[in-house]
Amino acid sequence: MPPKRKAQAQAADSDEYESEDDAPLSDQEDIQRLIDKYDVVGQSKRNRAAHVIDAASHLFKLCDQWDAKLKPDHASRPVWVDDAGRIIMESFSPAFADAQTFLINIAEPQSRVSRMHEYTLTPHSLFAAMSVGLSTDDIIMQLDRYSKTALPDGVRAFIKESTSSFGKARIVLKRTKYFIESTDPSILQQLLKDPIIAECRDNTTDGFVQEAAPKMGTLAIPGTKMAAGANQVAQPPPQQQPDDMLATLREEDDDEDIDQVHAFQIKGEDRERVVKKCREIGIPLTEEYDFRNDEVNANLEIDLRPGAQIRDYQERALNKMFGNGRARSGIIVLPCGAGKTLVGITAACTVKKSVMVLCTSAMSVVQWRAEFIKWSNINPNDIATFTAENKDKFPGNAGVIISTYSMITQSRNRSYDSEKIMEFIRSREWGLLIADEVHVVPAKLFKKVTYAIASHSKLGLTATLLREDDKIEDLNFLIGPKLYEANWQELAEQGHIAKVQCAEVWCQMTPEFYTEYLKAPSVQKRGLLSTMNPKKFQHCQYLIDYHEKRGDKIIVFSDNVYALEKYAKKLNKAYIYGGTPQAERLRILENFQHNELVSTIFLSKIGDTSLDLPEATCLIQISSHYGSRRQEAQRLGRILRAKRRNDEGFNAFFYSLVSKDTIEMYYSSKRQAFLVDQGYAFKVITRLEGLEQRSDLAFATPSDRRELLMDVLLRSDAEGEAEKIDGDLFGRNKAGGRKKVARRMAGTLSELSGGQDMAYIEYNKSRNKDFKAKGVKNDFMRKLQRGNQNAKKLVGK
């Protein structure tokens, strides 16, 4: 070792660096220094080699907050926990699978890139952990077991403090009345000291109602292995996994002691006030439906069909909902195409009471109904739909109604028939409310929904629990906490969703378009010029040709309708936007699915959601909605269901065409943030090999380009805006008008798709850091940061 390095290594022994510049060494030296410092005496050379394989330890050691004593066997432990409750997990550790199952129960996933996953402990996540049966000690003990260092005292204190009041009180609907219930009467007394809660108490009840606490965890969810084995000869118990909540809960059944619960009744109309107030004073209420003891509401004849078997991740999600034998309200997050519908249907088959399903479009209503019939044995007559076209009720005492958010919340100009159905919906109790695509529903609208539909439990389903307007927190209060969030890459590896290669294609602006772009007086005009950049057009044309020849089916997305039409017409492809009549939409989609001659369609943002086209294997985005992470993820979702996803070596493709040196580049990076957190790597393509030599591409001559430019300049600002729609591809015509940035990697087209025709630029550094340094922050990031600061305060840092 050179003398200076040696001196540094010695300094490292005393944990002091002369200056920051002295600290960084090469990776190998860092690892060696770490081994020298912490390797226990007598550890074999083989063990030392194992430390070197641990590629991350040295990085964390260099930063103060990780400066805790590493445990001697840290290399075999996968987790780092910092003072603020941030957890970093090595996905290459042998203990990864178990640790992941545990972490998903206690913390919120923030980012799951290929080698490192990041989670955060939050009051909500700890709340969810408690509600599935983990105790404070379980959480601390398990976390410590997986951690490479001793758990920081602040984190222990945070877990203790956060869990001390969680699960202590709950709101329960019993015999159609709302009760605040607790095993500890002093908690109820504490709540009643609050004047608002006292005011909301139903005065018809005196003192506390007392009854035996219900037994927990005896429930078998239909379609799960547990349910399948329910009638079989008892097997020796499997080795208990950290997440085998039901096993833990089953054990509790043997407990001879019968707990008492105490409760007081509140006025039904004040339910939301009480829930909000309890959260404010630090005793959040769990909201659970004791459906098995509900003798007031009629049972619904529904079960999963014998052949239906739900997948492991679907079972894990449902265990979070039904883990203690009651239905716990909350949100389940699964990637597009991962089977949220079946999760909802299984929840309905578990609760077996009347169910209300709300979706975003009339077509989704049709799809939900078909899925209910496909997966369950429900009598089709018991499923009613409530849309502009159909206004049905179910005939018996219990049934399912499927409708849209807009049908339920629209208050003016209801037809007579609609009003009758609304009366029917309002006048009864619902066992379960399933809110599909729950991220799109504004809080104000959802409040109207909860007001109109008296439901005992609520299940929100979404692929992207994201809103750029920072309103996602509201859903915690209106529906419940996030119960489960799946790992996208894991599901892709298991073949449940397609593997996708993502690329951002940089298209040089032509000089004449760029001159006008710089002079353009409005954002809309600049947007139009960058979308209509002739080079972008040529890149799009090239990629369509390339993928059509490979046998791919391609969807091209443009938010801007002028660009959509211009591109599609010039390339002689079919297109759909808000103004396309319904019959024509269906015809185009049918052709795309079944006609070999139709390999490419153009869609406006109307196709962002609820589009089930498993034939699609390639997606090209030419114009998009600013920096919307949600739209990016939803669009990617259109190719995750690719039929061919289990073919050997199959990849779907997702291209974003970006005009270079325009605002599109900034937005594009921002849009990718969510997907980057899900482990997708965006490659940057700077040049399509052979594009310049192609003479058949559009806008090849200066006069063609000038003509296009003139046309673009003549457009009004309104035409430069994104399409304004309210609904999706299958709705009726509704046309009207952490700052994480992509990880960019070098690549060759052969990596992407088997050719050698494109060149890439290499971006080693995450642009995330650039944004942080420059202080570019959106509201979401500010909120996250505030949340982290609060968490720090809570752990006393």
Ligand X SMILES: Nc1ncnc2c1ncn2[C@@H]1O[C@H](COP(=O)(O)OP(=O)(O)OP(=O)(O)O)[C@@H](O)[C@H]1O
Which residues in this chain contact ligand X in the complex, by CB under 6 A? 310-311, 314, 334, 336-342, 463, 637, 641
Of 641 and 739, which CB lies nearer to ligand X in the complex structure?
641
Q: How far is the CB of 677 from ligand X (least distance, A)?
A: 18
Q: How far is the CB of 640 from ligand X (least distance, A)?
A: 7
Among residues 501, 558, 512, 509, the alpha carbon closest in space to that of 538 is found at: 509
Q: What is the dihedral of CA 216, 450, 419, 429, to 10 degrees?
A: 20
Of 336 and 357, which CB lies nearer to ligand X in the complex structure?
336
Q: Which residues lie below 8 Å from residue 100, measured CB to CB, with a gap of 6+? A: 89, 91, 117, 487
Q: How far is the CB of 496 from ligand X (least distance, A)?
A: 8
Determine how many CB atoms are found less than 10 A away from the CB of residue 419: 11
Q: How far is the CB of 635 from ligand X (least distance, A)?
A: 11
Of 438 and 540, which CB lies nearer to ligand X in the complex structure?
438
Of 407 and 491, which CB lies nearer to ligand X in the complex structure?
491
Among residues 796, 795, 797, the alpha carbon closest in space to that of 159 is found at: 795
Q: How far is the CB of 372 from ligand X (least distance, A)?
A: 12
Element (H, E) at 434: strand 429-435
Q: How far is the CB of 218 from ligand X (least distance, A)?
A: 24
Of 342 and 434, which CB lies nearer to ligand X in the complex structure?
342
Q: How far is the CB of 339 from ligand X (least distance, A)?
A: 3
Cα angle value 286/291/293 (rounded, 5°)? 110
Of 126 and 433, which CB lies nearer to ligand X in the complex structure?
433
Q: Which residue is nearest to ligand X (CB)?
A: 339
Of 31 and 336, which CB lies nearer to ligand X in the complex structure?
336
Task: Assign residue 298 a region (left: φ > 0; alpha: ψ between -120 and 50; beta: otherwise).
Answer: beta
Q: What letter would DSSP give residue 736?
A: B
Determine how many CB atoms are found less than 10 A away from the CB of residue 31: 21
Structure tokens given for 754: 């088997």
Q: How far is the CB of 637 from ligand X (least distance, A)?
A: 5
Please, are residues 249 and 190 in contact by the beta-carbon 8 Å criterion? no
Q: Compute the distance between CA of residue 599 and CA of residue 612 in angstroms, rounded to an integer.
A: 16
Of 488 and 514, which CB lies nearer to ligand X in the complex structure?
488
CA dist 74 → 88, 93, 298, 671 (Å): 14, 11, 55, 37
Q: Compute the distance between CA of residue 343 and CA of residue 64 in angstroms, rounded to an integer.
A: 44
Structure tokens given for 587: 């015809």
Q: Compute the distance between CA of residue 53 and CA of residue 743 in angstroms, rounded to an integer.
A: 24
Q: How far is the CB of 225 from ligand X (least distance, A)?
A: 12
CA R_g for the chain:
28
Q: Which residues lie below 8 Å from residue 526, measured CB to CB, with a gap of 6+? A: 517, 520, 662, 663, 720
Q: What letter would DSSP give residue 603?
A: E
Cα dihedral sign, 467-468-471-473 = positive
Of 463 and 563, which CB lies nearer to ligand X in the complex structure?
463
Q: Compute the distance between CA of residue 576 and CA of residue 574 in angstroms, rounded to an integer.
A: 7
- CB-based contacts of 136-143 (< 8 A; 24+ apart in sequence): 136/160, 136/163, 136/164, 139/106, 139/163, 142/102, 142/106, 142/242, 143/79, 143/81, 143/87, 143/102, 143/106
Q: How far is the CB of 732 from ligand X (least distance, A)?
A: 20
Q: How far is the CB of 221 from ligand X (least distance, A)?
A: 12
Query: Which stretches of 436-553 are assigned E, i.e. beta strand?
Result: 454-462, 482-485, 500-507
Of 304 and 794, which CB lies nearer to ligand X in the complex structure?
304
Of 213 and 370, which CB lies nearer to ligand X in the complex structure?
370
The backbone torsions φ and ψ at residue 616, rounded to the nearest 5 degrees and listed phi first, read -65, 130
Amino acid at site 563 = A
Task: Assign residue 362 a region (left: φ > 0; alpha: ψ between -120 and 50; beta: otherwise).
Answer: alpha
Beta bridge partners of 475: none
Of 127 and 368, which CB lies nearer to ligand X in the complex structure?
368
Of 338 and 434, which CB lies nearer to ligand X in the complex structure?
338
Among residues 546, 482, 468, 520, the alpha carbon closest in space to that of 662 is found at: 520
Q: How far is the CB of 600 from ligand X (least distance, A)?
A: 21
Of 342 and 652, which CB lies nearer to ligand X in the complex structure?
342
Q: How far is the CB of 10 from ligand X (least distance, A)?
A: 57
Among residues 372, 376, 445, the alpha carbon closest in space to that of 404 is found at: 445
Number of helices (H), then strands (E), belonging to the chain: the values are 33, 26
Of 392 and 612, which CB lies nearer to ligand X in the complex structure?
612
Q: How far is the CB of 342 from ligand X (least distance, A)?
A: 4
Q: How far is the CB of 18 from ligand X (least distance, A)?
A: 55
Q: What letter would DSSP give residue 496?
A: S
Please, are residues 399 and 415 in contact by the beta-carbon 8 Å criterion? no
Q: How far is the CB of 314 from ligand X (least distance, A)?
A: 6
Q: How far is the CB of 310 from ligand X (least distance, A)?
A: 5
Q: Compute the distance between CA of residue 752 and CA of residue 758 in angstroms, rounded to an integer.
A: 10
> For the chain, what's the residue count?
797
Amino acid at site 740 = K
Q: How far is the CB of 542 from ligand X (least distance, A)?
A: 29
Of 305 and 660, which CB lies nearer to ligand X in the complex structure?
305
Of 336 and 540, which CB lies nearer to ligand X in the complex structure?
336
Q: What is the DSSP string of 656-683?
A: EEEETTSHHHHHHHHHTHHHHHTT--EE
Of 129 and 601, which CB lies nearer to ligand X in the complex structure?
601
